[in-house]
C-alpha cells in the first residue's frame, strides 16, 4: 500500500513553508554580516567552563543534563536583577517563541505583531494553526497602540529593538503596551544589549509580560543555542509544561552561566560594536543614503546609485556586488515594505572597512 503522505499532514503544518534562515556558508573566507552574530569570540571563561564540564574523558556527557537548567536560570535572574523564579532557559530564544505560541495560541486564541517584524513569527503561527494579524507601523514608525489593543489577539509579539529596522523603543512604550493590551505581551529582546536597556525587571510588576533574550547576539554564542525568558512564575509554569524535558545540553548550560557572569568582558566588546555602528551610520550620512537609526547590532539601509536612484533593482545590485566580493549581507526581496533595503550586521572594524571599500567600488562602477 502506498500512502498519500501529503493528505496525512496536520492542517497547520500543511500550510507551512519552512522558515529560511540567513545563509550560513561552510567556508570561513566570507565577511559574514548577514545574521547579526556578535563579531567577537565569547568570553574566554566560556571555553574554560566547557572544557571543565567535558573533563579528561567526557564522562559527564554520559549523564542527562539538569532538566531545569537550574544554575543557568540562576545566572539569568542575577544578570537581569530579578528573583530566580522569574527566569527560564531554552534552546535559543526561537525555542521560547515557539513554546509561547504553543502554550497560548490555537484557532481562537490568536497572535498580533507589527509589520515589519521578525519573519519567523508567521511560520510559528501557521504551524500552530493559529491566525497572525500583522499591523503596519504608523508612517513615522511609531506604534499603532489602538489597533493592537483592538485586535482581539491573545498574545502580542513585540520585537524591541525591532528587527529588521533596528528601531528601539523605551520603557514608557513597553509599559503603555503591557498596561493596555488585554493578553500576553512577549517582548523579543534579542537585540537589547545594543540598546542599553531591558524590560526584564518589569516582569516582577506585570503578570502578562514575557521578555525573551538570547546569547546569540550580545554574547557571541549563536553556535551554542542558549536563550532565556523572564516572566511571572505562573507563565513560566505553563512554558515548563510545553518544553522538552532536557531542553538544554550540559555544555550549553555551563557556557551560558560563564558568559552571563563575565560582564566586564562583554562591556568592553560591546563598546567596539557601538563605535562601529556609529561609524557606519556616519558613512551612510556622507552618502546621503536613508537608514533607520539603529538601537541594535545591524543597520537597515536603502542604497542609492550615483544618480540618486533607489529601488528593488538597486538593492539587488549592491547585494550581489558585495556577495561577489565575499561580503554577505541580508536582504528581503519578498517583503514589500523593505525590499529596497539591505540589512548590514555590525562587524569588527576590519570587516566594516571591507564593506565600505566594496560599496564605494559599486557606487563608482
Ligand atoms: N528574535 C529575533 C528578533 C531574532 O532576530 C532572532 C535571531 N534570528 C531570534 C529571536 C532568535 O535568536 P536565537 O534563537 O539564536 O536565540
Best residue for ligand 1 mutational test, from 158, 211, 216, 332 (most atoms within 8 Å of Cβ): 216
Angle at 52 between CA 50 and CA 54, to 5 degrees: 70
Q: How far is the CA of 93 from the centre of ligand 1 (A)?
A: 6
Q: How far is the CA of 355 from the centre of ligand 1 (A)?
A: 24
Q: Identify the residue whose C-alpha is closest to ligand 1 atom 4.
A: 190
Q: What is 240-298 written as a DSSP string?
A: HHHS-TT-S-HHHHHHHHHHHT-HHHHHHHHHHHHHHHHHHHHHHHHHT-EEPPPSSSE
Residues 6+ apart with CB under 8 A from 1: none
Q: How far is the CA of 26 from the centre of ligand 1 (A)?
A: 21
How many CB atoms are closer than 10 A to CB 10? Answer: 10
pLDDT in tens, 102-144: 999 999 999 999 999 999 999 999 999 999 999 999 999 999 9
Angle at 71 between CA 69 and CA 72, to 5 degrees: 65
pLDDT at 21: 86
**Of all atoms in ligand 1, which is nearest to the CA of residue 213?**
16
Question: Is residue 281 a contact partner of residue 68, using CB atoms and an 8 Å limit?
Answer: no
pLDDT in tens, 299-346: 999 999 999 999 999 999 999 999 999 999 999 898 888 999 999 999
Residues 6+ apart with CB under 8 A from 358: 321, 322, 325, 327
Q: How far is the CA of 212 from the centre of ligand 1 (A)?
A: 9
Q: Identify the residue whose C-alpha is closest to ligand 1 atom 6.
A: 190
Domains of the chain: 5-42+264-363 (3.90.1150.10), 44-262 (3.40.640.10)
pLDDT at 247: 97
How many CB atoms are closer than 10 A to CB 290? Answer: 14
Q: How far is the CA of 161 from the centre of ligand 1 (A)?
A: 12
**Of all atoms in ligand 1, which is nearest to the CA of residue 163?**
3
How many CB atoms are closer than 10 A to CB 326? Answer: 14
CA distance linking residue 77 with residue 70, whole number of Å: 11
**Of all atoms in ligand 1, which is nearest to the CA of residue 97?**
10
- Show pLDDT as tens, one digit a residue, over the chain (365 residues): 899 999 999 988 898 888 888 889 988 899 999 999 999 999 999 999 999 999 999 999 999 999 999 999 999 999 999 999 999 999 999 999 999 999 999 999 999 999 999 999 999 999 999 999 999 999 999 999 999 999 999 999 999 999 999 999 999 999 999 999 999 999 999 999 999 999 999 999 999 999 999 999 999 999 999 999 999 999 999 999 999 999 999 999 999 999 999 999 999 999 999 999 999 999 999 999 999 999 999 999 999 999 999 999 999 999 999 999 999 999 989 888 899 999 999 999 999 999 999 999 999 98
- Is the entire prediction scored with pTM above 0.85? yes
pLDDT in tens, 51-66: 999 999 999 999 999 9
pLDDT at 191: 98
Assess whether the previous peptide bond of 20 is cis (omega < 30° from 0).
no
| Protein residues with CB under 6 Å of any ligand 1 atom | 92-94, 118, 159, 163, 188, 190, 214, 216, 222, 227
Best residue for ligand 1 mutational test, from 24, 94, 158 (most atoms within 8 Å of Cβ): 94
Q: How far is the CA of 321 from the centre of ligand 1 (A)?
A: 27
pLDDT at 135: 98
Q: How far is the CA of 222 from the centre of ligand 1 (A)?
A: 9
Question: Is residue 99 a contact partner of residue 243, using CB atoms and an 8 Å limit?
Answer: yes
Q: How far is the CA of 307 from the centre of ligand 1 (A)?
A: 37
pLDDT at 31: 97
Cα of first residue to Cα of last residue in the chain, in angstroms, is 61
pLDDT at 19: 87
SS3 state of residue 171: helix
pLDDT at 337: 86
SS3 state of residue 121: helix
Best residue for ligand 1 mutational test, from 76, 157, 162, 214 (most atoms within 8 Å of Cβ): 214
Amino acid at each position: 500500500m502506498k500512502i498519500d503522505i501529503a493528505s496525512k499532514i496536520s492542517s497547520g503544518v500543511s500550510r507551512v513553508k519552512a522558515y529560511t534562515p540567513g545563509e550560513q556558508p561552510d567556508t570561513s573566507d566570507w565577511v559574514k554580516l548577514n545574521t547579526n552574530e556578535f563579531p567577537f569570540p565569547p568570553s574566554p571563561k566560556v571555553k574554560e567552563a566547557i572544557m571543565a564540564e567535558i573533563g579528561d574523558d567526557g564522562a559527564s556527557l554520559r549523564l542527562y543534563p539538569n532538566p531545569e537548567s537550574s544554575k543557568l536560570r540562576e545566572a539569568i535572574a542575577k544578570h537581569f536583577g530579578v528573583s530566580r523564579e522569574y527566569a527560564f532557559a531554552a534552546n535559543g530564544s526561537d525555542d521560547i517563541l515557539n513554546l509561547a505560541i504553543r502554550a497560548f495560541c490555537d484557532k481562537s486564541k490568536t497572535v498580533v505583531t507589527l509589520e515589519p517584524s521578525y519573519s519567523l513569527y508567521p511560520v510559528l503561527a501557521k504551524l500552530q494553526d493559529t491566525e497572525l494579524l500583522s499591523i503596519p507601523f504608523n508612517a513615522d514608525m511609531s506604534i499603532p497602540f489602538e489597533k493592537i489593543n483592538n485586535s482581539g489577539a491573545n498574545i502580542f509579539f513585540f520585537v524591541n529593538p525591532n528587527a529588521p529596522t533596528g528601531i528601539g523603543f523605551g520603557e514608557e512604550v513597553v509599559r503603555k503596551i503591557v498596561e493596555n493590551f488585554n493578553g500576553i505581551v512577549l517582548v523579543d529582546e534579542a537585540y537589547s544589549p545594543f540598546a542599553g536597556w531591558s524590560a526584564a525587571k518589569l516582569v516582577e510588576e506585570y503578570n502578562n509580560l514575557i521578555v525573551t533574550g538570547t546569547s546569540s547576539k550580545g554574547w557571541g554564542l549563536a553556535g551554542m543555542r542558549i536563550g532565556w525568558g523572564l516572566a511571572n512564575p505562573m507563565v513560566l509554569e505553563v512554558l515548563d509544561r510545553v518544553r522538552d524535558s532536557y531542553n538544554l545540553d550540559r555544555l550549553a548550560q555551563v557556557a551560558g552561566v560563564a558568559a552571563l557572569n563575565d560582564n566586564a568582558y562583554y562591556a568592553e566588546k560591546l563598546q567596539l560594536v557601538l563605535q562601529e555602528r556609529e561609524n557606519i551610520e556616519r558613512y551612510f550620512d556622507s552618502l546621503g543614503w536613508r537608514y533607520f537609526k539603529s538601537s541594535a547590532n545591524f543597520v537597515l539601509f536603502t542604497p542609492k546609485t550615483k544618480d540618486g536612484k533607489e529601488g528593488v533593482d538597486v538593492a539587488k545590485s549592491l547585494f550581489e556586488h558585495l556577495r561577489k566580493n565575499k561580503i554577505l549581507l541580508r536582504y528581503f526581496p519578498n517583503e514589500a515594505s523593505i525590499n529596497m533595503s539591505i540589512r548590514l550586521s555590525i562587524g569588527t572594524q576590519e570587516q566594516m572597512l571591507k564593506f565600505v571599500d566594496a560599496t564605494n567600488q559599486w557606487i563608482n562602477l
